[in-house]
Structure 1
Amino acid sequence: MTLTPVLSRHWAEPQPWTLAAYRRQEGYRGLPKALRMGPDEVIALVKDAGLRGRGGAGFPTGMKWGFIPQGDDKPHYLVVNADESEPGTCKDMPLMLATPHALIEGVIIAAYAIRASHAFIYVRGEVVPVLRRLQTAVREAYAAGFLGRDILGSGFDLELIVHAGAGAYICGEETALLDSLEGRRGQPRLRPPFPAVAGLYACPTVVNNVESIASVPSILAEGVEWFRSFGTEKSPGFTLYSLSGHVTRPGQYEAPLGITLRELLSHAGEVRAGHTLKFWTPGGSSTPIFTAEHLDVPLDYENVAAHGSMLGTKALQIFDDTTCVVRAVLRWTEFYAHESCGKCTPCREGTYWLVQLLERLEAGTGTEADLDTLTDIADNINGKSFCALGDGAASPIFSSLKYFRGEYLEHVRLGHCPFDPARSTVWAGNGGAATESAATTEGIAG
């Protein structure tokens, strides 16, 4: 399967972030078409295209727009979740840095469809270059008449605000993001009510990912059949896959949904020379890990789910045979414990105890009984937290024990990590044995 650059097609061109460059790239073609249609027709078009959310669960975008009640005499809001912080995910930031007007055009179309007169882009405040690039692009759009009052003579008004968050992983959760946007501490809300009914300022709100919204203009410009010519029947379209870790050429690879990791690695120069693939994440650290046996799983929502994981943000973190699984899971779990907002007990207490157990196991001072305790604690977090952070913290625990339980046990048997460079241990793989090697000892000493 070949790569299909659409969103990333102009990233390498000179100054693609300017309005002039975006219009040369045939930008702002979809907006006039949308404004000539009724809002409900735009929603129906996006539904027919089959666009699914590109930020996590893959919920149909047009269906989410359709949940907004009409005739309720309340203001409607569109919020773009640009708080990209899932470990391994790095697609939205380069998109906004290179072609911010693709996002802005998508925002205008989406706001028109849901009858919103105010829209917000919530960006991580640490990413100052992206923040400035967006603010400049918004000013350009206002000056050109794409934002403000009576856009392109259609009678539609829209105010777009770029808001900088203070930097918290939990604010990537849509209801925590809304609380932060309202000036409160970012913590998930209990649902129902859902944002479509009571979101920002207790009014109907749509929260979409950057890539989801940036995909909308091309659907309007090129049509439903064109969009559905990419991907699969249930997961149509193209998307950005972020390859990082032990790969020869890490980066963004835009391809149809349904491509496999084996095919993506062929474009990325394979796993780094002299090593083999050990495990990988299909959608960031919140998703259950896969192994080399999953190289040919089509990377779409249905097939990844059928094999026990989630496509998530398409953050493909690649780990080769030099990686200690226990250490990797510990690092992820430390992240979740640090980023827990503390609102609910299962996540706040559970992630803390997961870290304590994993530290013992990784150091080789744990016991086999600790593996069962790990599973019990993860089970008490999974599905019992206010938001998906708890589920994300449990995912690496369950999946790593499923595929690499032998490696955990080897830590216990040896009394130290089999991958510790200060020791003369050669790890033979999951379920294998660690052996002492005089040659290795001499090599380290030398």
Structure 2
Amino acid sequence: MPFKTKEELENHIQELKREPVTAQILVCGGLGCLAKGADAVYKRFQELIEKNQLSATVKKTADNHQPSLKETGCMGLCEAGPLVRIEPKGILYLRVKPEDVDRIVEETLKNNQVVDDLVYQEETNQEIRKWPLMKDVPFYRKQMKIVLRNCGSIDPEELDDYLVHDGYLALAKVVTTMSPDDVIGEILKSGLRGRGGGGFPTGRKWQFARLSKADRKFIVCNGDEGDPGAFMDRSVMEGDPHTVIEGMAIAGYAFGAQEGYIYVRAEYPLAVKRLKKAIADAREAGLIGKNLFGTSFSFDLIIKEGAGAFVCGEETALLASIEGKRGMPNPRPPFPANKGLWGYPTVINNVETLANVPIIILKGADWFRSFGTVTSPGTKTFALSGKIRNTGLAEVPMGISLRELIFDVGGGVQDNGKFKAVQIGGPSGGCLTEQHLDLTVDYDSLCSAGAIMGSGGLVTMDENTCIVELARYFLHFTQNESCGKCVPCREGTKHMLNILQKIVEARAKGEDLDLLIETAEVVRDASLCGLGKTAPNPVLTTLRYFKDEYLDHVYNHVCVAHVCNAMKEYRIDPEKCRACGKCARVCPVKCISGRPKVPYIIDQEACIKCGSCFEACPFDAVLVEWRSKNHES
């Protein structure tokens, strides 16, 4: 290194592939597993490998000094971390503690046996089934790994680990054997659409920028992932940073950009750390920088850390932030492909979109189109969260049904609960019901149901979820993140939130529902950017599919999910009350009255439902009663 020609890179990769493979220990180093103690598990493996001199039975890296114990990126099944995988057998161990490592070394590495109690298991029909191999675990069975092809399998901080999986061969191919138009043509043929939410054809965006005449152009990677519960892009940047770099370099070659920015929020320190190392390693190896592979094409990257504003996920706001301005959107046209960063043509693609590019170049557009649907080819990553059994990161073919995604991959509702709804597309997405479970997951089907693909957040809800409170929560998030530049978003989301607050606090009237719908439609139609235009989605879809819950809240003051505090009452049971006065003394609004030897009572009009009396009563005399439908609406 550095690699001066395509042949030098190919020869190096062939040398790496010739190394013998006997065993690999892969410890998940995704944030979910690290938070549960994966570092301690990794250190214990290090200690035992050295103590037992296992280097002879474990594959060694190129320097021939260390056994192949790797801390990888996210393996996906975050709920069951820390995860450990033993290759090449493909054994997956869940919830591994440092004390379990001794058994794994003794039983699996030394004696070729499975540690039975650490593998994935399910109880079905009073029978416990166990799946030791990762490929057989229900969570992984229907997945198709394209974007996540290396996550959980390579050490993201080792360049050779990426190269041995044909890393940078796609870049070498395009700069030495393909014209920019050939590259754009292949991406257009693949049908790759932007995975950031909008679904705009990636090749067309590159084509627009290529046709723009300028002496300077930019490619920007949008890693500003701000949806609550979403961690798809973060996991790719942490687990396979070189695929993002390679995808950006290919895009730059295709439309004529020699400079790129990776915009990643500062709240992702592990992603920032691994990206910085990957960029430095790639630059040292001649994989980015001047005259790549002996050609005239040069390309380099800069990381820009964002401050965490949700609105900076919008293209023009993101560009303003890079330029050092306040992150606020601007009217379009002109579009960034014509006039973007500092007035030069700029393409903004999100992390997942760029991660698809190298493998499309290597395997071809027809291969990519063999997955997914006609209008939505390929795969999509999802962050599964909420009341779902298998929370984590999954990648599935486009066209899979919501039912398969939630019940087969996700394992269904936690604690055998009853499915109620799914919020897809993040805080700007739509809420879908049981009647939509057989809907296919693709851009067009979801839009027809009032939802959006979004970046890939998927929140499952059970019958204990209050739909009205859910809409209020998401709107609170988007209203708080509004930049305030345009009136419809700034004022409209505030009015919508106030109405929803009145509804959950049992203060709303019938006309408030009409005003909520009217305001939501104005915000959707008149806002400047995507944040405002999609902010009403959770409200409009829940009103569309769960209107009865809104009516119950407004007319009956009933919350069927027993979530909204205003819909419950605290009462004192006179048979149990000992008139000790403890409840009255802790009441912050002094709404409890009584005297010695006479049961205390609560003034329902003054009660703020704080529950202090319930917690203070030593005789269980304070009762919680939820209102039920006891009169006509």
Deviation readout 1:365-413 (Å, 9 max, x if unpaired): 1112111010111112112111011122111111111111111111123
Farther-moved stretch of structure 1 (364-373 vs 98-107): 364-373
| Separation in 2, partners of 1:170, 1:328 | 21
1:178 and 1:200 in contact (8 A); partners too: yes
| Separation in 2, partners of 1:371, 1:175 | 34
Farther-moved stretch of structure 1 (349-358 vs 3-12): 3-12
| Separation in 1, partners of 2:555, 2:444 | 39
Task: Output the aligned Cα RMSD.
Answer: 1.9
| Separation in 2, partners of 1:405, 1:92 | 34
Map of 1:68 onto structure 2: 209
Deviation readout 1:180-225 (Å, 9 max, x if unpaired): 1101001001111111111001111101111001100000111111
Q: CA distance change for structure 1 residues 38 and 114 in 2, over 3 Å: closer, same or farther?
A: same
Deviation readout 1:37-65 (Å, 9 max, x if unpaired): 11111001100111000001100000110
Farther-moved stretch of structure 1 (14-23 vs 351-360): 14-23
Deviation readout 1:227-276 (Å, 9 max, x if unpaired): 11111111111221221111001111111111112111212211112311
Map of 1:336 onto structure 2: 478
Q: Which amino acid aligns with 1:345?
A: V
Map of 2:174 onto structure 1: 34
| Separation in 2, partners of 1:71, 1:335 | 37
Deviation readout 1:153-193 (Å, 9 max, x if unpaired): 12211120011011100100000000111010010011111
Structure 2 counterpart SS, 1:34: helix
Map of 2:547 onto structure 1: 405
| Separation in 1, partners of 2:247, 2:180 | 14
1:375 to 472, 493, 517: 517
Map of 1:22 onto structure 2: 162
Deviation at 1:71, TM superposition (A): 7.0
Alignment map for 1:357-372 (pairs within 5 Å): 357-372=499-514
| Separation in 1, partners of 2:448, 2:518 | 24
1:323 to 457, 465, 490: 465
| Separation in 2, partners of 1:411, 1:71 | 54
Structure 1 counterpart SS, 2:474: helix
Deviation at 1:73, TM superposition (A): 3.5
1:88 and 1:285 in contact (8 A); partners too: no
| Separation in 1, partners of 2:279, 2:188 | 27
Map of 1:81 onto structure 2: 222
| Separation in 1, partners of 2:214, 2:371 | 39
2:493 to 322, 338, 351: 351
Q: Which amino acid aligns with 1:358?
A: L
Q: How many residue pairs were aligned?
A: 430
| Separation in 1, partners of 2:358, 2:535 | 35
Q: Which amino acid aligns with 1:302?
A: D
| Separation in 2, partners of 1:372, 1:414 | 17
Q: Which amino acid aligns with 2:402?
A: L
2:383 to 233, 242, 254: 242
1:258 to 396, 399, 402: 399
Structure 2 counterpart SS, 1:243: strand
1:200 aligns with 2:341: yes
Map of 2:241 onto structure 1: 100
Deviation at 1:284, TM superposition (A): 1.7
2:156 and 2:238 in contact (8 A); partners too: no
1:17 and 1:101 in contact (8 A); partners too: no
Alignment map for 1:273-312 (pairs within 5 Å): 273-312=415-454
Alignment map for 1:158-173 (pairs within 5 Å): 158-173=299-314
| Separation in 1, partners of 2:146, 2:271 | 20
Deviation at 1:17, TM superposition (A): 4.0
Q: Which sections of structure 1, spanning at least 5 residues, go unmatched?
A: 426-440
| Separation in 2, partners of 1:305, 1:329 | 18
1:288 and 1:399 in contact (8 A); partners too: yes
Q: CA distance change for structure 1 residues 264 and 17 in 2, over 3 Å: closer, same or farther?
A: farther
1:2 to 101, 122, 142: 142
Deviation at 1:145, TM superposition (A): 0.4
1:364 and 1:417 in contact (8 A); partners too: no
Map of 1:189 onto structure 2: 330
2:210 and 2:256 in contact (8 A); partners too: no
Map of 2:271 onto structure 1: 130
Deviation readout 1:75-131 (Å, 9 max, x if unpaired): 111111100012342200001100000101101100110110111010011111111
Map of 2:57 onto structure 1: none
1:261 and 1:296 in contact (8 A); partners too: yes
Q: CA distance change for structure 1 residues 202 and 71 in 2, over 3 Å: closer, same or farther?
A: closer
Structure 2 counterpart SS, 1:45: helix
Deviation at 1:444, TM superposition (A): 6.2
1:54 and 1:313 in contact (8 A); partners too: yes
Map of 1:437 onto structure 2: none
Map of 1:270 onto structure 2: 412
Structure 2 counterpart SS, 1:197: coil
Q: CA distance change for structure 1 residues 209 and 406 in 2, over 3 Å: closer, same or farther?
A: same
1:173 and 1:188 in contact (8 A); partners too: yes
User: Is the radius of gyration larger for structure 1 or structure 2?
Assistant: 2
Structure 2 counterpart SS, 1:86: coil
Map of 1:120 onto structure 2: 261
1:49 aligns with 2:190: yes
Deviation at 1:351, TM superposition (A): 1.1
Q: Which sections of structure 2, spanning at least 5 residues, go unmatched?
A: 1-140, 570-620, 626-633
1:91 aligns with 2:225: no
Deviation at 1:70, TM superposition (A): 3.8
Q: Which amino acid aligns with 1:55?
A: G
Deviation readout 1:3-37 (Å, 9 max, x if unpaired): 11122233223524421111122211211111121
Map of 1:436 onto structure 2: none
Deviation at 1:416, TM superposition (A): 5.5
2:224 and 2:265 in contact (8 A); partners too: yes
1:74 and 1:204 in contact (8 A); partners too: no
Deviation at 1:66, TM superposition (A): 0.3
Structure 2 counterpart SS, 1:382: helix
1:195 and 1:205 in contact (8 A); partners too: yes
| Separation in 2, partners of 1:313, 1:14 | 24
| Separation in 1, partners of 2:316, 2:235 | 25
Deviation at 1:282, TM superposition (A): 2.5
Structure 2 counterpart SS, 1:140: helix
Structure 1 counterpart SS, 2:538: helix
Deviation at 1:311, TM superposition (A): 1.6
